[in-house]
């Protein structure tokens, strides 16, 4: 990618993060292009769809949460899974309407967001399998847990939970995940 093209792409991603933080992910795309200082043609050349933009913005966050979760491997299986479920919920609550977009993307085989969700679901599966091997996790599928956490993240956002209240909400919502078989 040429240097000027990379600058434009980086400017669009930075502007999108700012707009998503302020107005949620359903904010008008034209405002993002304007804030980035690029024209609509440049914007759409880089990001043909809202999902392409959202996936690009989310990619760093997804990579970071998965990398940071490596530290959970030092915890016992139940504690690691509980902490992962909280961290994932907390991360997914970041932008207004993100849970709705994730729910749509899970069913859309062409959505680039689906790929990101698959990475998060795979990490959920690793931690769930570890707890299941210890005999404490239920037989629930990782995809169902990911969908549940996405739903809970909506509530965490809507109720304006701080971290302590969010942790309580996640614990209540996921109580059956770690129920002994």
pTM: 0.85
φ/ψ bin of 54: left (φ > 0), alpha (ψ from -120 to 50), beta (otherwise): alpha
Per 3-state DSSP, what percentage of the chain is helix, strand, and coil (rounded to 5)? Answer: 75, 0, 25
Kindly report the average pLDDT of the chain as a whole number: 92
CA dihedral 38, 41, 42, 48 (to 10 degrees): 120
Read off the pLDDT band of 181 (50, 70, 90): very low
Closest CA to 149 of 120, 110, 126, 178: 120
CATH classification code of 1-48 = 1.10.10
Q: How far apart are the C-alpha atoms of 65 and 86, rounded to whole Å?
A: 11
Poorest-confidence range of 15-24, 45-54, 65-74, 148-157?
15-24
What is the C-alpha radius of gyration for the chain, rounded to an integer number of angstroms?
Answer: 18
Asked whether the predicted pLDDT for residue 180 surpasses 70, the reply is no
φ/ψ bin of 107: left (φ > 0), alpha (ψ from -120 to 50), beta (otherwise): alpha
Tokens of 77: 């299986």
Res 27: pLDDT: 87
Q: What is the pLDDT of residues 19-40, one digit of tens each?
A: 988 888 888 888 899 999 999 9
Domain residues of the chain, as ranges?
1-48, 50-181
Residues 6+ apart with CB under 8 A from 149: 85, 88, 89, 92, 124, 170, 174
From the options 1.10.30.50, 3.40.50.10260, 3.10.20.30, 1.10.357.10, give the CATH code of 50-181: 1.10.357.10
Q: What is the pLDDT of residues 96-151, one digit of tens each?
A: 778 888 888 888 889 999 999 999 999 999 999 999 998 889 999 999 999 999 99
Res 116: pLDDT: 92
């Amino acid at each position: 990618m040429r240097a000027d093209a990379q600058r434009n792409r980086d400017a669009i991603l930075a502007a999108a993060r700012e707009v998503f933080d302020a107005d949620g992910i359903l904010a008008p795309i034209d405002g993002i292009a304007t804030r980035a200082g690029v024209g609509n043609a440049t914007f759409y050349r880089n990001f043909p769809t809202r999902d392409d933009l959202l996936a690009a913005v989310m990619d760093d966050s997804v990579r970071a949460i998965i990398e940071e979760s490596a530290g959970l491997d030092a915890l016992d299986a139940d504690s690691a899974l509980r902490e992962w479920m909280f961290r994932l919920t907390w991360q997914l609550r970041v932008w207004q309407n993100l849970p709705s977009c994730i729910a749509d993307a899970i069913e859309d085989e062409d959505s680039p967001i689906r790929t990101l969700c698959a990475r998060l679901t795979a990490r959920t599966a690793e931690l769930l399998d570890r707890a299941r091997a210890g005999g404490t996790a239920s037989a629930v599928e990782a995809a169902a847990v990911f969908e549940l956490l996405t739903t809970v993240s909506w509530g965490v956002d809507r109720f304006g939970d701080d971290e302590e209240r969010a942790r309580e909400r996640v614990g209540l919502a996921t109580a059956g995940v770690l129920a002994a078989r």
